[in-house]
């Protein structure tokens, strides 16, 4: 029997201790990360116990009769204990649907954790989605470098790095979030995309203080003036630039080529992947050809990430079949 319980503040230490050793978790599921924007989401995270032992968690929030995992995070879904067995994972999944159905939720939406973040084989959820007839509502194209077989930078990227060297650009890891946000990231996003960063300056500085080993700010300077930067999220398996932006001179100076070359190599030790993130838009239906070209010339190639919607009443007919 699986006992399903909603997360409460008193569970924080237990939750964080579990996430720290789970086989497919990253620091984004730590409550000190999840709760920084708790005022924007009505938390309804779930915890799954077998014989009083925590075996899985589901970071989630509610929206009317829908449970989502998680619109405030890059990815979500079931986080499995390092030693969980397949049948226990299935029972936790089925129990989640039954519990949510009883609580009046009609659907569960999951943005799956890309496989590059898994520390052990972890495709249980993928199988369960097929088994319960989950609706695929989004399929994204991610461009990724595999450090075990890293294709080299192509000619145009090497030319950019050489331009940066000729101009005397300097790269520093310096926690200069303020200048990056105020002079480059916010203005450039507004001008080019009529958008704003997901995190405010105050939020990213708070998160970097809470997770100094996982969040790094890399800055590129020309004659001591900040001209480009990247905010890097680091997990046990993967290097991920959460934000990357240069000023109007980025092409002439080669600042972004230099920034990428630096973070790809500097944070590589002990990790398997470098994740350039999505190159698709409109629920994955449109490809950004410019992003595809740029990332592929850095040696990245495609993986996909899916988002599913599950009807909670599927628990009524959900069963494993054995030979």
CATH 3.40.630.30 residue ranges in the chain? 2-139+306-316, 152-268
pLDDT interval class at 280 (50, 70, 90): confident
Q: Residue 93's closest CA among 130, 63, 44?
A: 130
User: Lowest-pLDDT range, 20-34, 140-154, 269-283?
Assistant: 269-283
Q: Residue 54's closest CA among 99, 21, 27?
A: 21
> Is it the case that residue 282 has pLDDT exceeding 80?
no
Q: How far is CA 125 from CA 6, 44, 114, in A?
A: 20, 19, 12
Q: What is the pLDDT of residue 225?
A: 97
Over residues 35-73, the pLDDT tens digits come to 988 888 999 999 999 999 999 999 999 999 999 999 999
pLDDT interval class at 281 (50, 70, 90): confident
CATH number of 2-139+306-316: 3.40.630.30
pTM above 0.85, yes or no: yes
Q: What is the pLDDT of residue 120?
A: 97
Work out the end-to-end distance of the chain between its first and last CA atoms, rounded to an integer number of angstroms. 23
CB 237 within 8 A of CB 119: yes
Over residues 203-233, the pLDDT tens digits come to 999 999 999 999 999 999 999 999 999 999 9
Domain 152-268 matching CATH 1.10.1240.10: the answer reads no
Over residues 114-124, the pLDDT tens digits come to 999 999 999 99
Q: Which position has the token pair 């000190």?
A: 32
Q: What is the pLDDT of residue 286?
A: 85
Over residues 89-108, the pLDDT tens digits come to 999 999 999 999 999 999 99
Q: CA 203 to CA 38: how far, in whole Å?
A: 12
CB 89 within 8 A of CB 50: no
Q: What is the DSSP letter of 182?
A: I
| Average pLDDT of the residues of the chain | 96
Over residues 130-176, the pLDDT tens digits come to 999 999 999 999 999 999 999 999 999 999 999 999 999 999 999 99
Phi, psi values for residue 146, rounded to 5°: -100, 110
Q: Residue 172's closest CA among 59, 258, 65?
A: 258
What is the average per-residue pLDDT within 290-303?
93
pLDDT interval class at 242 (50, 70, 90): very high
């Amino acid at each position: 029997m699986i006992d399903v319980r909603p997360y409460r503040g008193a569970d924080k230490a237990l939750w964080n201790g579990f996430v720290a050793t789970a086989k497919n978790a990253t620091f984004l599921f730590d409550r000190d990360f999840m709760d920084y924007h708790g005022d924007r989401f009505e938390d309804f995270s779930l915890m799954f116990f077998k014989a009083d032992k925590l075996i899985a968690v589901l970071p989630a929030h509610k929206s009317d009769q829908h449970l989502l995992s998680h619109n405030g995070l890059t990815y979500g879904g079931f986080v499995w204990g390092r030693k969980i067995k397949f049948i226990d994972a299935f029972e936790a999944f089925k129990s989640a649907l039954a519990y949510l159905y009883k609580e009046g939720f009609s659907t569960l939406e999951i943005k799956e954790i890309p496989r590059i973040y898994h520390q052990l084989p972890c495709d249980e959820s993928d199988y369960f989605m097929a088994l319960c007839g989950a609706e695929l509502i989004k399929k994204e194209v991610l461009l990724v470098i595999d450090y075990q077989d890293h294709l080299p930078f192509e000619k145009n990227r090497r030319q950019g790095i050489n331009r940066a060297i000729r101009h005397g650009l300097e790269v520093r890891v310096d926690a200069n979030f303020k200048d990056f946000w105020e002079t480059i990231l916010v203005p450039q996003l507004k001008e080019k995309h009529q958008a704003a960063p997901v995190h405010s300056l105050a939020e990213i500085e708070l998160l970097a203080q809470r997770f100094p080993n996982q969040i790094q700010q890399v800055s590129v300077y020309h004659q001591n003036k900040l001209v480009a930067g990247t905010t890097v999220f680091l997990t046990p398996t993967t290097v991920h630039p959460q934000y990357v932006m240069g000023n109007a001179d980025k092409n002439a100076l080669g600042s972004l080529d230099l920034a990428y070359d630096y973070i790809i190599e500097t944070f590589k030790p002990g990790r398997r992947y470098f994740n350039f993130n999505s190159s698709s838009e409109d629920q994955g239906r449109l490809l950004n050809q410019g992003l595809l070209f740029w990332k592929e010339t850095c040696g990245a190639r495609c993986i996909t990430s899916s988002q599913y919607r599950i009807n909670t009443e599927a628990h009524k007919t959900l069963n494993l079949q054995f030979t």
